[in-house]
Amino acid sequence: MKKRVRRMKKRVRRMKKRARRMKKRVRSMKKKAYRDREMNSQRDSKWIHVDQVLHHQYFVWTTRRLPRQTRDRLRHLSRVGSPEEFSTEPFLPGTFSPYTEPHSEEFLIAMGDNNVTGPKCTYDEDFKRFLLPAIYSVVFLIGLPLNGAVILKNWRLRPNLTRSNIYMLNLAMADFLYVMSLPLLIYNYGNHDYWPFGELACKLVRFQFYSNLHGSILFLTCISLQRYVGICHPMAGWHKQGGRRLAWVVCGGVWLVVALLCAPTFYYASTGTQRNRTVCYDLSRPEHSTDYYPYGMALTCLGFLLPFMGVVVCYCRMGRLLCRPPSYQGVNMAASMEKRDKAVKMIIIVVTVFAVSFLPFHLTKTMYLLIRTLPGAPCATRNLFSVIYKCTRPFASMNSVLDPILFYFTQPRFRKSTRILVTKITTLRDREPRCEKVKNLTYNPRLFRTNV
């Protein structure tokens, strides 16, 4: 029994010596880690969890109660001699990182998730709390009544609508549906990207944004093609055979194409967790960024680039035709000048909408998708393009306000009906009620004189 006690005491002394040696090694590794971190500040994110790693390493070497695979991994870490060697092998999620949560940005930075392309960066997005809610509130307060008034006005006149007005009615419907979803985004960005409405609402809001965006582009393209055919081919009868029925069929086809183009948004757009908060991702989750890139580029090409090229070609040919002298066309001078002014006004309107709303957004989105998928892009560049892209996102929402202002309120018939409605409202407000007039009547003896 005494021999067994002596052996146990010797074993305890050996364990204590080993523990002291391990503590010295831990202190030396910590000093070297902190010294290298100060020398190279760009690799600061790699050393966030050095204390936790060394603490668990000491725990494994003293107790030897962890699984063999974990002990082998920690023995490899104990032989690390430089910061470059320290980051060659990823850590084990769930084994020795109790201070990070799965799917958070800190977790991706510390663990080196292989599904996320490029360096693990933390984006500075505090500006969204002030910029996006303010602009979305303005778009909601202005776009909701304007698009609602346009829909009601055109719906009352739907038996007498022209083909261009049919396209404009569908354009206003797309804008109205998008504006109805803005209160959710205003609440989200105003509360530091907190999304409490569930994953289905997140998918619907993102789908509504992109369907409105590309639906507006396609309906503007239809209006431009209709204007091009009416100016450059006025005597051709093939485009007049279908009439309004053909315009409604084209609108149905546009809605179907938009639904097919934006359907993958229901797969990529989802909710996640960042900094212990539920967020709604705009494009895709970080681990799906590589898979989203081909779809994002295809959506830009089919939903913006091809329609934009068609609009440019149509307006170039229209401009060349309108620059000719009126005498060459064999029509009346006054009628020709009136049609020319109307066509030039339509060209300016469509070019303005494309230049303000659609072109900056798609340009910055394409650059952001490209930078996000590059493996060697530094974090500063990623953050810069992320800020630029998210600053141009409100411009894409401004088309919900520009469409009714630039199109419907520039038409003489709509302006006249709006002016009549406003005058009726003001006259009814200024007119006194009949009961008030009766109360204000006083007795006048001259009115009641009679000749006897």
The β-bridge partners of 279 are 272
The most confident of the ranges 15-29, 165-179, 337-351, 366-380 is 165-179
DSSP annotation string for 63-85: H--S-HHHHHHHHHHHT--SHHH
In 58-136 the beta strands, taken as DSSP E runs, fall at: none
Q: Are 47 and 37 in contact (CB under 8 A)?
A: yes
Rounded to an integer, the average pLDDT of 171-188 is 90
Rounded to an integer, the average pLDDT of 417-434 is 65
The most confident of the ranges 59-73, 112-126, 318-332, 434-448 is 318-332
328-337, 382-391, 409-418: least confident range: 328-337
- The distance of Cα 230 from the centroid of its chain, to the nearest Å, equals 36
44-53, 229-238, 407-416: least confident range: 44-53
The most confident of the ranges 68-72, 199-203, 318-322, 349-353 is 199-203
How distant, in Å, are the alpha carbons of 144, 145, 167, 265, 304 from that of 356? 20, 22, 21, 24, 14
Of 231 and 110, more confident: 231
Give the span between the Cα atoms of 165 and 404, in whole angstroms.
12
Domain boundaries, the chain: 16-99, 128-406
CATH code given to domain 128-406: 1.20.1070.10
The confidence band for 137, taking pLDDT boundaries of 50, 70 and 90, is very high
139-153, 203-217, 346-360: least confident range: 346-360
* Res. 413: pLDDT tops 80: no
CB atoms within 10 A of CB 251: 21
Give the span between the Cα atoms of 242 and 245, in whole angstroms.
6
- The string of pLDDT tens digits covering residues 22-47 is 888 888 887 777 777 666 544 444 44
Contacts of 110 (CB under 8 A, 6+ apart): 45, 48, 49, 91, 97, 100
* Res. 48: pLDDT tops 80: no
The confidence band for 240, taking pLDDT boundaries of 50, 70 and 90, is low
Rounded to an integer, the average pLDDT of 397-414 is 75
Of 37 and 106, more confident: 37
